[in-house]
Structure 1
Amino acid sequence: MSKAIAAAAIRGAAGLVARAGEELAGALDTYGPDQRVGFPNTGYYLPVIYGITGRRVGRLGDLEPVLETARGLVPAVPAERVWLPYLGGALDAGMAALFAAETIEALRYLTAPGSYTGKTAPSPGGLWLGAADDAVLRRRGLEFVDGSAPGFAVCVGAAPSDEAAVRLARECQEKNLYVFMCASSGGRSMAEQLAARGVQMGWETRLVPFGADVTATVFALGFAVRVALSFGGVAPGDYARLLSYTTNRVFAFVLALGEVDDEKCAHAAGALNFGFPVVADTDVPEILPSGICTYEHVVANVPYESLVSRACEVRGLKITVDRVPVPVAFGPAFEGETVRREDMHVEFGGQKTPGFELVRTAGPDTVEDGRITLSGPDVDAVEEGGALPLGIVVDIYGRKMEPDFEPVLERRLHHYLNYAQGVWHIGQRDVNWVRISKEAYGRGFRLRHLGVILYAKLKSEFASIVDRVQVRLSTEAGEVTAWRGEAREYYARRDARLAVLSDENVDTFYSCTLCQSFAPTHVCVVLPERVGLCGSVSWLDARAAHEIDPHGCNQPVPKKDVLDAAGGEWASCNEFIRTHSRGTIERVKFYTIMDSPLTSCGCFEALVCIVPECNGFLIVNREHAGMTPAGMTFSTLAGSIGGGVQTPGFMGVGKAYLGSRKFLKADGGLARIVWMPAAFKEQMRPVLEKRAAEDGLGADFVDRIADETVGVEVEEILAFLYEKEHPALSLEPLF
């Protein structure tokens, strides 16, 4: 740690203890040792002293041994040449400073009784409230236990301007934080700045002006101590349990505003004992390693616009957004809503324009919490019924965030965007499809609100791993295409993680019921060698999702009691699917499309369909808008098999499944593929060629698959297959 800040804390503590000693000596001469002393209307005496030492200070004479203890806690100032960077000395000095500050404040009540109003809000006769009494503690302290008050900020000093002070206060209020104000910098305090701007202060508004002196900081720490004693069951004098409680249950931090002198350093060191870190807007020495506090101890040079969010992050305090600020109704009730073409103002992605969505882990220096940007035209620049490209990049920083969690959060985008009334979203990765209704547009819904939704929901529902969220949106065609190329590299790396896994070497599969809002009877089961239909949920992703949220839509499905090894059927999987499909689906075989195949929702990346005349299957991807040899387009086929229906000979799949060793294994595997759209075939060529080589199908197998350049009529396809000697023609009949 910094020798400079340790030395300042120790000097400040020594000065405060000396000051307290002088004031106590004067009071003893005037009033005598039996004079009653303390804070008004409380049974907790002087709470910091009482909580840490167990001493009940009720008379002036009781303060003498307290200050003697404080003197013993103040170490020598670090030597210039040789000094061991030990935090303990500074922490001891900080505790001594708090004992001295509480002594000074108790004497102030005795010798200057008009210093504090003792009320719950400032009045024309006085700004400073002083220590909270037990009535306030009982009402307000419980809020720190039940979560209605997530924490408090101790603001020491003044903001650089009155306007900045108001913004700081409002941000804390928006986050439901209490603000405890004391001390001054540059001759003004934050409370005086708020008063000058007519801001209403007091316990009711959670803006509490404690006192003008830096020693009033002890009122805030004393309040935390009383919460632990009153609601945490901590016994007075059990300092180890007390400090553990405040560290783990009372989420407070100190905002050092303006210049920081020795006395402020001493109080800051005292706050560190309670697990309350210090975040400063000036260039003070930092203490970055963790140990006493959850994360860093002292962080400096934080911009004002980031001060509160940075302090919350350092404290480990998770602030959730109770109401998503969008101009339409918002909630799970709208998740199953459909925006039809005639009701649509604008659409993105799907088969019309390029689109994708990506969640990625980023470093703290690259993510500005709450930042939402849009490049390109907004929806009001498009004529009704028009279309735009759309790229969505969500950058997330979190101390506990891991790359394995990215796809889990990415899949939730589908969920959250559908919560907005008049917004419709299906698909994932680079096959997403979004529509905004005329009604939503008329109410003022714009593209930025997509970012607002994602920020609010990711911060609230994944608070344990997410500290900062930044959303970038683009409707510029060139930019979206370029970003999509980068996103596909992310997708490919995620898919590659599964290469070493197999269905045989795990004993658990995982479900995904996220799409049951659209398909109530659909239960997707994700295997190591079979990605989810949407293409975004791999076995690893589902396992990570279950770790993040054990009660969420990804649940473990035991792999027990094999019924058909070749077809991929287990009794335990059937039981799980039967239960979670509400008894609609009795059995599923994972390695075949012909007998009890897995159901399909509506978010699948591609669709497999039987072509009986060719003794094989066609595969058509969502982006292909043309006709297929089945006599139907993708959208018509999808409408026929989606919604959780089990349809032998038809099945939705994720693109990555085409490269799996288990791809239609019981039906003959890759050798059954007789037709694919040309663009899709080229996109998947590396995957198909690798799989074909492993299956012994020859280096030219991909070129023996027909596409629309050959034709979409069965007769045309069959002639091509015979010419190319496609292996499907020599396999056993599908019927």
Structure 2
Amino acid sequence: MSRIIAAGAIRGAYRFVEEAETAWQRINSSCNGSELIGFPNTAYYLPVIYGVMGHKVEQLNDMVAVLQRCRKLLPPLLADDMELNSLQPVLDAGIAALFAAEITEAIDYYENPQSYTGTETPAGDNLWLGAADDVILRKRGVEFVDGSVPGFAAILGAAPDKATATEITAELQQRNLYVFLSAGDKNQNFAQQLESTGHQLGWPTRLVPFGPGAAATVFTFGFATRVALSFGNVKPGNAKDLFAYTQERVPAFVMALGEVTDKWYALAAGALNFGFPVITDSKIPGLSAGDPPTELVVSNVPHDKIVSRSVDVRGIKTVITDVPVPVAYGPAFEGERVRGENIYLECGGGRTAMLEWVTSRPGEDIVDGKVSVIGPEITDTPPGSKLPLGIVVEVSGRQMQEDYEPILERQVHHLINYAQGVMHIGQRDMAWLRVSKDAVAKGFRLEHIGLLLHAKLHQDFGRIFEKLQVKLFTWETDVAELLHQAKAAYAARDARIEGMTDETTDIFYSCLLCQSFAPSHVCVISPERTGLCGSYNWMDCKASFEINPTGPNQPVTKGATIDARLGQWQGVNDFVFKASRGNIDHYNFYSIISDPMTACGCMECISAVVPLCNGVMTVNREHSGMTPSGMKFTTLAGTIGGGVTTPGFVGHSKYNMTQRKFLSAEGGLKRLVWMPKALKEEIADRFNERAAEIGIPDLLNRIADETVGVTEEDILEYLTENNHPALTLEPLI
């Protein structure tokens, strides 16, 4: 193998370890060793160390064993006349470097808590986000499992100039990859280059500035490790399984731009353990291994070829969609925000009336691809204007059904958001649109909303309709009349879906998207139990199957009823056993006590039994505080994720909490004794409807939240004072 790479990686690993030891000695001289230390809001401690060693670093003293392990892993420095015939010493040096980098960063968190924002986007003058917490991991994990994100790129260094940085970024974003940024080069770094050219950085735009130093690169490997632990049910300390998982299921690569230092060589060696190849513009030797040879380090790649070369080496399949709009287009732009002085046009959001409505029409009434703007166009208004807007999508086709209309309608939100410089929030008659001055300067018009909807809906859903046309209304009187018609259609749809029950439906649907991360997890979706992630209901899955009969949503014949109270059927059991490769032979839809459904890690909420209160608490993933279970959401998710059945705990969507079958085997809503205040407010309207149905219209007010307390003892007093029904039900356990 290349002696240059090996020698550099080993020297770099020594530097990382020496810096970690120095930092530990410095902080230990003024501490007693029991100080709590780690990365914020994660159940995975220092994740690379925890994933590889199985060692929990919770206190300063816990670092001693890791530093000792680092020293054992370090191979001897290479003398000039030494040859290295094995890759293993280099891989060991890489692991030592990553362990040491995590220790250095954890100590920095302790000594300088303001070094990183800990948020999803830069805050104030601080560009650097630091380690992603588990809320971000699970929120973004859904994008990896549903296929909208094919992988991620970890960029070290800086481009030779801002223009090159912008070009590389545009190609990465068009390929829908996340981009993790760290480790500057000669007082430059890629993140600052992008910020200076007006790019919005952060998790929403998939351009994530972890930190300016080389050690901050370890946050990339920590993210990959937590994917394996939380979604893949990999056991901490099983390094072999961890690296096999990341190699097979975490498509990622390292892109090194600029002079490759010894520390970078060491980080590259760490990346090779995870199965992540390194692609660089530097003129260093390449590296391949195996039979047939696998490219591990690819060097001297021109900047205009480096993205395509990188995805080819890693084997990442990306699709660049050609959409007829004058701005860049793709999921990477979905998280952009249009603010303040950059707003050219605003519609909806309480400023004006706005609606979106997909409706079926006879084929003779539709001209496929026709887009009509009925009223003022963007060019008819000055910057900063506000207009009412009605977006009406008319479809026809032999396979088209009324039940598909809301499926298509829900696509409008993200399809519009994929246009760079266009912000869209909400749906139906609660939508909100902003178009930036930059987008208008590039030629974007309201007409392009219709053109992109026609192109993308045909591409993604063309199997269920044949013709589609779009009308955009901007006259106030037209939008007011459309609102009246659309609201009637919304109400009719809701009544139709609400009228469906599990008893009157013989076919359920599977969702196996998450098996790309959690191989033994099988989600089966019924009319009264939506998918855990909140993204798929029964109608969505039905439409998905119509569109792609060989896709992840397959019909599941319910079969003979085994237990109507628990929600178990023979046909579902047979499917679950086969789809989980024999790991799971049954589960129950309606129970938290008796063999509840499996979870993969991307659930919106987790419910857990609260024994002292004879009830159940529910926490959503956005809530970062403690719960009466004694665990935060992140710890709970790490406990029940990975495709296992865990009695006393169950993952579910927010919407599922207001469906009639939610925990019905144990008493349903009457068992809910605690949930975060923000979640109560979010689901209040639908929850109160259900509570009124069961004769307890004020039930939501009787449920405790974090303002009451986060221990069983605290909330029991509140429940007693408010006569909560759970206290009179039969014992849960």
Give the TM-score normalised by structure 2: 0.44
Structure number, greater radius of gyration: 1
| Larger relative contact order (CA 8 Å, sep ≥ 6) | 2
Give the TM-score normalised by structure 1: 0.44
